[in-house]
A and B are shown apart, each in its own frame.
Chain A
Amino acid sequence: MPYSTQLQGGAHWSFTMRRGTLLTLTDIAGGGNAGMLLFNAAQPLERYNAPDTLKCQHSFFLTAGHCLYSDMGRILCSIVGDEVGWHDTVCGTSNAAMVERQFGASSYQRDRNDRLQNGRHAFLTEAAKYGLGRRDMAANVNWFSKVTAGADGTMQFVDGHSQAGSSVSLRFEMDTLVLLHTCPHPLDPAAIYPRRPIGVSIGEAPPMAADDPCLHSAAENARGFANTALYNQMPHAGH
């Protein structure tokens, strides 16, 4: 059953993606950002691990053909489609102090649902619904955002990187709890809190073909998929 919705900017949500389903995020207005943390739905102590993901695929960013690894050597999801080309996973997320410094003070009492939400509180709010908390925060993905590193290591945020209507599609290889927010990237230099909507579409994923690009983009990924297949064969998997 396909389902589509839209998250306005500065919002948060969480849900479980079953193995074999497809999640497509769309940057509706362009220049958007979608913060994401991922956990094994059956055993949340296993979670997305950005450093393992990057070093297993020798990359500083995420794009089509890449897989998102857990800290247990398994693949939570793979990027089967990408119209953006570069997604950040090294900049973390905004916190309350940063948002207030950049965009000014805000409160629900005054601003109602236009209050200036920050990424950390968005993640913590969703995490708490599953018994998770501060200890479970990790380096998140910032879909649609690009930050490069120069030869001397200097980080540069690429403003307006993602074009309006661009999508990225994730095929889930394990049952995965997804925490999602649409707060601005922590290096977005905007003077006014950017409130850019993200489309969320959930459906069935086409089965993986023998020539699947994610399987073949790195020798490491063949081993990652083998680890994941072993896990999914275990009697407890998915429960």
Chain B
Amino acid sequence: MMQQSTLDPTDAVLRRVVGAGDVFFERVRHGQFLRIVDLEGNQAADTLFYNAEDTAERYSAVDTMREQRNIYLGVGTTLMSTEGRAMLRIVADTVGRHDTLGGACASESNTVRYDLERRHMHSCRDSWMLAVVLNEACGLTKRDITHNINFFMNVPVTPDGVLTFEDGLSGPGKYVEMCADMDVLVLISNCPQLNNPCNGYNPTPIEVLVWDPA
């Protein structure tokens, strides 16, 4: 389901363009709105959320899918935590659906998926590893780097259980917007993957915007 937002980017309290291979790591407060824009289309924004007051509570892909009885994320999805609580709600979306099955690319899984000699290639998990080490005060480590959301990514599943990575449903300027139901840390890796169609083999920038409660 498509749902346009009424929020005006000129009113945003934060606007930041994040290049492919870079990280966005900020706190979003309860009631604030968070929008991620696929500036050039066909990008993947690999995203993790943590309860800012207790980072051992975090986004849970399996609880989110199970509680809404649907594997795709979109308008109306409540992003659930590992403690079974609502973290954020998707309130606007011009893409249609987003993935939370496929996980993030990693140097290590790239060796399995593509070639043993591709371990040098940049990956979302490596971006996150560096982000948590450079922000030690947040108390996050590799243990906290888990099963994420892939905003803008298209991972269809057939009724007989075949899972594929397909060309994205997204396009230039399409976005997804959430309202936070608790103070959260937002950790986004703008995906640098060069080996599959999740970002059209051409990683491009995203923009992240935050608005205060209306």
7 pairs of A and B residues whose beta carbons are closest in the complex? A51-B103, A92-B62, A73-B108, A153-B72, A135-B143, A60-B161, A134-B56
B109: chain A residues within 8 A (beta carbon):
49, 52, 55-56, 69, 71, 73
Instruction: Tell me, yes or no, whether B186 is within 8 Å of chain A by CB.
Output: no
What is the interface residue range for chain A against chain B? 35 or more
Give complex CA distance A134, B144 in Å. Answer: 9
A55: chain B residues within 8 A (beta carbon):
101-103, 109, 113, 155, 163, 165
Q: Report the count of interface residues on B (CB-CB < 8 A).
A: 46
**Per-residue CB proximity of A78-93 to B under 8 Å, as 1/0?**
0000000010001110
Chain A interface residues toward B at CB < 8 A: 45, 49-52, 54-56, 58-61, 69, 71-74, 86, 90-92, 95, 97-98, 133-140, 148-155, 186-187, 220, 223-224, 226-227
Nearest to B155 among chain A residues (CB) is A55
Instruction: Tell me, yes or no, whether B12 is within 8 Å of chain A by CB.
Output: no
A152–chain B nearest beta-carbon distance, Å: 7
Stretch of B63-71, B86-94, B171-179, B206-214 that contacts chain A: B63-71
Nearest to B125 among chain A residues (CB) is A71
B112: chain A residues within 8 A (beta carbon):
52, 56, 69, 73, 220, 223-224, 227
B66's partner among A54, A69, A71, A155 (CB-CB below 8 A) is A155
B70 and A155 within 8 A (CB): yes
B62 and A91 within 8 A (CB): yes
**Per-residue CB proximity of B53-67 to A under 8 Å, as 1/0?**
000110011110110
Give complex CA distance A152, B164 in Å. Answer: 15
